[in-house]
Amino acid sequence: DQQVKQNSPSLSVQEGRISILNCDYTNSMFDYFLWYKKYPAEGPTFLISISSIKDKNEDGRFTVFLNKSAKHLSLHIVPSQPGDSAVYFCAASDGSSNTGKLIFGQGTTLQVKP
């Protein structure tokens, strides 16, 4: 039972263009969503988050959008840079379980071509 799904295993974009990574969830109890980035041989690093009371959160080149009615969130990276090439995981928390427990998607490998 995959409660958080990233249906695109990979994405390739040109440097300078927008990268859009998508994530769907099924559990309506999720109230906090996060994106993590992972480089090979490193642990995931936190990128950006959004609470369910918001529909958008920005941090520099990164923006996360949340559509609660569709149970869908997306991460926009503008402009994309070669250093953004990594695996991106979306994750969700239902808050009540305290946030050491996150439900992760399977990840999307982003390749940004120079």
Partner 1 sequence: KAGVTQTPRYLIKTRGQQVTLSCSPISGHRSVSWYQQTPGQGLQFLFEYFSETQRNKGNFPGRFSGRQFSNSRSEMNVSTLELGDSALYLCASSFRNTGELFFGEGSRLTVL
Q: Which residues bind partner 1 (CB under 8 A)?
A: 4, 6, 32, 34, 36, 41-46, 49, 89, 91, 93, 97-107
C-beta closer to partner 1: residue 17 or 56: 56
β-bridge mates for residue 86, sequence order: 110
Minimum Å distance from CB 92 to partner 1? Answer: 9
Buried b (16+ CB within 10 A) or exposed e, 47-75: bbbbebeeeeeeeeebbbbbeeeebebbb
Alpha carbon distance 49, 38 (integer Å):
16
Residue 4 vs 77, nearer CB to partner 1: 4
Provide the β-strand partners of residue 72. Answer: 24, 67
Give the nearer residue to partner 1 in terms of CB position, either 28 or 99: 99
Smallest separation (angstroms) from partner 1 to the CB of 50: 10
Q: How far is the CB of 46 from partner 1 (least distance, A)?
A: 5
